[in-house]
Amino acid sequence: MAEKKPDYASLKKGGFMRQKQKGYFSLRLQVVGGNLTAENIRTVSEVADQYGKGYVHMTSRQGIEIPFIRFEDIEEVKEKLSEGGVKPGVCGPRVRTVTACQGSAVCPSGCIDTYALAKELDAHYFGRDLPHKFKFGVTGCQNNCLKAEENDLGIKGGMIVDYKEDVCIQCGVCVKACRENALATEDGKIVIDREKCNHCGRCVKSCPTDAWEGESGYIVSFGGLFGNKIYQGETLLPIIKDKETLFRVADAAIGYFEENARPGERFRLMLLRIGEEEFRKVITGAYYGRD
């Protein structure tokens, strides 16, 4: 019987990275928003012991890889992983792991539920074939633990804040909590400079009487790149108030990338080649709900 030849492209799509050691693959797993269940981890541990070299590698984007999987074990490994609820990840020109910080479900600083959003983004986009890799990252607040602007499309939680003068006790806490110097006390009242407000929500989080109310929103950045070339994702739209608009904008951005990028060209490099003007029009249209 002829020896089966590995189909590297489909293996890569299925998260198997060819190692420099012949016949071995480092298996990338699908992790969404950086969370794994205890059962997932047990399964990974068993596979690493039984089929790998008894260790895993944590990737820079919250992933896990199990190195030293033999080509002939791949199907068995996939099955074993699937029994424990673990799926292979992806490599190559497509939507990669959606990363997230712990967000408002766990973190006192969080302005949005990052994990819930990461799961939705994953369900919508994960593995979608594109001209080149495309990365989503979701961070809960301006502390930016998840480094939103490194991603092709970064989402950062924010708050649109509103002041209720009648319940304010003028304690002064918010004025000091604001790091943008957007707040000041004038004649015993708190005043906000909207130009300076970066939607961090620290006034809301710190106010003892809830005189600051915050409505959660999404600050989206486009075209981050942190590999051979380094570019910071740019915020090209106002803060987005609802998930429907967020997904409309993400659809428009990813669709624009799909239509306009050359094979093997990253989102940012496409924008640099053809200019941002048209892209801005497209996402602004999506933001306002125009086709």
Partner 1 sequence: MDEIKFDEQVDITDKVCPMTFVKAKVSIDELEDGEVLAIRMNDGEPVQNVPRSMKEEGHKILKLTDNEDGTYTLYVRKVEE
**φ, ψ for residue 18, nearest 5 deg:** -65, 130
What's CA 232's distance to the chain center, in Å?
14
Distance, CA of 171 to CA of 185 (rounded, Å): 10
Contacts 24+ apart (CB under 8 A), 175-178: 177/202, 177/203, 177/205, 177/206, 178/202, 178/203
Nearer to partner 1, 173 or 269 (CB): 173
Distance of closest approach, residue 201 Cβ to partner 1, in angstroms:
11
Distance of closest approach, residue 176 Cβ to partner 1, in angstroms:
5
Distance of closest approach, residue 110 Cβ to partner 1, in angstroms:
12
Nearer to partner 1, 40 or 142 (CB): 142
Nearer to partner 1, 198 or 284 (CB): 198
Nearer to partner 1, 146 or 204 (CB): 204
* Cβ atoms < 10 Å from Cβ of 110: 23
Distance of closest approach, residue 208 Cβ to partner 1, in angstroms:
4
Nearer to partner 1, 173 or 272 (CB): 173
Strands 234-235, 24-28: pairing is unpaired
Helix and strand numbers (H, E) in the chain are 9, 13
Distance, CA of 224 to CA of 231 (rounded, Å): 5
- Asked if 11 and 78 count as a contact pair (C-beta separation under 8 A), the reply is no
* Three-class HEC string of 68-126: EEEHHHHHHHHHHHHHCCCCECCCCCEECCCEECCHHHCCCCCCCCHHHHHHHHHHHHC
Q: Facing residues of 234 across strands?
A: 222
Give me the residues that bind partner 1 (CB under 8 A), please: 108, 169, 171-173, 176-177, 179, 202, 205-208
Distance of closest approach, residue 212 Cβ to partner 1, in angstroms:
12
Nearer to partner 1, 174 or 253 (CB): 174
